[in-house]
Amino acid sequence: MNFPKFLLFYWVFLCDNPLQSVTWKTLWTSERFVLENINSNNMSRRFILGAFAASVITAAPTFSKAAGFLRGAGNIRSISMISRRTGERFKGVYCIDNEYIPEVLDEISYVMRDWRRNEVKSIDRRTIDIIAASHNLLNTDEPYTLLSGYRSAKTNAMLRRRSRSVARDSLHISGQAADIRLSSRSVKQISKAAAKCNGGGVGRYYRSNFVHMDCGPIRRWRG
């Protein structure tokens, strides 16, 4: 692949300058400049976003104590998950210095779609932040396993007929909830991390081995 000169310069800039000496605002502005010039160089936005995210993740210092929307979120927020239902994976940066990347949010929403009806709804950013922050607090490289993200009203009604534990007005319907598990962490550990974020509801489901997280009112329960 022939890299355009502006992109080559961009990579040299990243490699020759320690990230600690460059503000994230500057890097984000540079990334925007790259995106604005893609059309003339036959390179996809996804490729550039992936390259940019990879360079940030590789060279970034520790962000677990950085200021952010939620404890553990950090100034650079990334998320790593795999859908148990479809096998689709996502790993990448979705927010830099409180500026969300719309294309990445769209990809996250797609992975978290209602797989039964193949319907996509934008996942609430606050829920994504809770997922990312709790995962960061757990200090593991294992991606979250997503059991359920967005649910259409019809899917929720079907699941409710099967189980009384499914709420009629579930926040899954509005794209504000996720059911998560990790093989390397217990339900108790995951729920504690989610609760520390203090960003919404956290439900522990020991029999089914998952934790419910949402950005609704702060509450705790055991299912």
pLDDT tens track, the chain, 223 positions = 443 433 333 333 344 433 333 333 334 443 443 444 434 344 444 555 554 554 444 434 333 333 334 555 558 899 999 999 999 999 999 999 889 999 999 999 999 999 999 999 999 999 999 999 999 999 999 999 999 999 999 999 999 999 878 888 899 999 999 999 999 999 999 999 999 999 999 999 999 999 999 999 999 999 8
- What is the reported pLDDT for 70? 56
- What is the reported pLDDT for 66? 31
Tokens of 123: 């996942």
Round to whole Å and give the CA distance between 11 and 22: 14
Q: Which of these, 69, 61, 62, 94, lies nearest to 80 by C-alpha position?
A: 94
- What is the reported pLDDT for 29? 40
Quote the pTM value: 0.71
- What is the reported pLDDT for 49? 53
Q: Where are the alpha helices (DSSP H) in the chain?
A: 5-16, 24-36, 45-59, 102-111, 125-138, 153-162, 187-197
Round to whole Å and give the CA distance between 168 and 156: 7
Contacts of 204 (CB under 8 A, 6+ apart): 187, 188, 191, 211, 212, 221, 222, 223
Tokens of 100: 């969300």
Name the maximum alpha-carbon separation found in the chain: 59
Q: How far is CA 58 from CA 93, 109, 132, in A?
A: 11, 25, 17
Is residue 155 within 8 A of residue 187, CB to CB? The reply is: no
Q: Where are the domains of the chain?
A: 5-59, 76-222
Fold of 76-222: Muramoyl-pentapeptide Carboxypeptidase; domain 2 (3.30.1380)
Could you tell me the strand order of the sheet in which 219-222 lies?
A: 99-100, 89-96, 76-83, 144-148, 177-181, 210-214, 201-205, 219-222
